Amino acid sequence: MIESHIPKSDLPNFSQCKAVVVGDLMLDEYIWGDVGRVSPEAPVPVVRVTEKTYSLGGACNVAANLAGLGCASTVIGLCGHDDAATQLKLQCSENKIHCRFVAVEERPTTRKTRVMSRGQQLMRLDEEVLDGPASDVVQELWDTFVDASKDAGAVVISDYGKGVFCRDFSNRVIDHCRELNIPVLVDPKGGDWERYSGATCITPNTNEFLQVASFTPDNDADLADRANTAIAAFSLESLMVTRGPRGLSLFQRGMQSLHVPTQAQEVFDVSGAGDTVIATLAACLCAGMVLADAARMANFAAGIVVGKLGTKPIYRAELEEALRKRESGTGYKIRDRKGAADMVACWRAEGDEVVFTNGCFDLMHVGHVKILHEAASLGSRLVVGINSDSSVKRLKGKDRPIIPEGERLALMAALECVDLVVAFDDDTPLELISAIKPDILVKGGDYTVETVVGHDLVTKWGGRVAIVPLLDGKSTTSLIERLQRTRR
């Protein structure tokens, strides 16, 4: 069955969900630099290092996606006694992930170092051990998992083939989860799926499933036959194949297959998309969604992350934004204070610089548009605070506003340069500014920096205030006076 249904924007409350990820931990390190010459020692470029950055890989990236959606996220795996483990723990802490690492003296933390210059990857250096750990280490890993999974709503096995899932460890994890009625989802590696027998769902991509079953990738009927065979052979409840530009296909025991087309608008980077899929699937199941709806949501989330450069997790706020955009046009930009703060936090995690301005915006005119466009040009995202109807009445008099609050919000949201619109009921936007913490605060030329509400807060946390010149004779008051003269 071909399914084009878009999931609804009312996401479950993931904050009550606990998910455990067990698997191969990885640190992704990026060395950035400039290349200006060839080495005299060998015909290789000389990279002058300017910066080093780090991100989570492997099981840690799955956990980051779960945390980004709002789940209580725990990650379990092996690491070494080295600086890579320290950096990995720091990155997990920054992403609100609970680490349950088992440190092994003679084993390095898996680290992938990419040397980058002018946006191109020059080489990748891998530090890793692929052999399975000793039996006493496996036992410590098992004890850690049993303790962490006591109140879990979902468990993810993130297998990258780095040695964790040896000595039947994955079979023990799955059997334990089945006894406790915990859904266990597997991101597989390699062609040996016996170690995943009994899982709730395995989520291979097309190439990974081809290692297990021979089929024609673009033939849905052939894929369904092989998938159902695999479900029976490995005692699975379901199998979900991610198919890149073809979306994903879900197969459940005794049920009709479901094919969900891709939702990606523009693909920049597919790295990490599989981690997002399995994390979103786990979060949705943990929150009580049926598997088919969870698969739709996972597919939609993957369509967002492939539009990002590099391995980046999904965030609840941006998933909700994308869903609302599909349902309500530009109305998705209208948020309450908490929703705005969540969205801004998501943007900031992506490195965006947030600009804020505010006003009544009663009778939108060209002067407003000029200020808004100039404000938007100062940063990456523009948030506009709009006085509520009751606030406008207190400030402007009982005959104002002329345009009601809902219409003013909708008109503002329709402007392409505006990314978020928030109504506030106070006489000033001070509490809203405190909630979203903009990097740049903008007001028109009838203000000075010192008279702008919130200027002290913004400068205190390292932001700045910008004053945009006004257009002479362009104001709501002058527009009302012209209309009144016209009526006489």
Nearest to 30 by CA among 2, 53, 11, 64: 53
Tens-digit pLDDT profile for the chain (488 aa)? 545 455 555 688 899 999 999 999 999 999 999 999 999 999 999 999 999 999 999 999 999 999 999 999 999 999 999 999 999 999 999 999 999 999 999 899 999 999 999 888 999 999 999 999 999 999 999 999 999 999 999 999 999 999 999 878 999 999 999 999 999 999 999 999 999 999 999 999 999 999 999 888 888 899 999 999 999 999 999 999 999 888 899 999 989 999 988 765 555 556 778 999 999 999 999 999 999 999 999 998 988 887 776 678 999 988 888 888 777 778 889 999 998 999 999 899 888 999 999 999 988 888 889 999 999 999 999 999 999 999 999 999 988 898 999 999 999 999 999 999 999 999 999 999 999 999 999 999 888 999 999 999 999 999 999 999 886 656 666 666 666 666 65
Query: What's the pLDDT score for residue 4?
Result: 44
Q: Where in the chain is the domain with CATH 3.40.50.620?
A: 327-487
- Measured CA to CA in angstroms, residue 237 lies from 255, 276, 379, 481 at distances of 10, 21, 48, 70
pLDDT for the residue numbered 303: 85
Upstream peptide bond of 401 is cis (omega within 30 degrees of 0) = yes
How far out from the chain centre does Cα 291 lie?
A: 21
CATH 3.40.1190.20 positions along the chain are: 14-314
Place of tokens 């349950």: 100
Strands (E), 138-193: 154-158, 184-187
Q: What is the pLDDT of residue 323?
A: 84
pLDDT of residue 415: 93
> Looking at residue 264, what is its pLDDT?
55
Structure tokens at 438: 């903009």
- Contact of 274 with 159, CB cutoff 8 Å: no
Fold of the 327-487 domain: Rossmann fold (3.40.50)
Q: What is the pLDDT of residue 482?
A: 64
Looking only at the bridges linking them, the beta strands covering 201-202 and 238-242 are: parallel
Best CATH choice for the domain 14-314 from the list 3.40.50.300, 3.30.450.20, 3.40.1190.20, 3.40.50.2300? 3.40.1190.20
List 159, 275, 362, 419, catalytic entry: 275
275 assigned to active site: yes
The strand order across the sheet containing 25-38 reads: 45-58, 25-38, 111-117, 120-127
C-beta of residue 189 within 8 angstroms of C-beta of residue 212: no
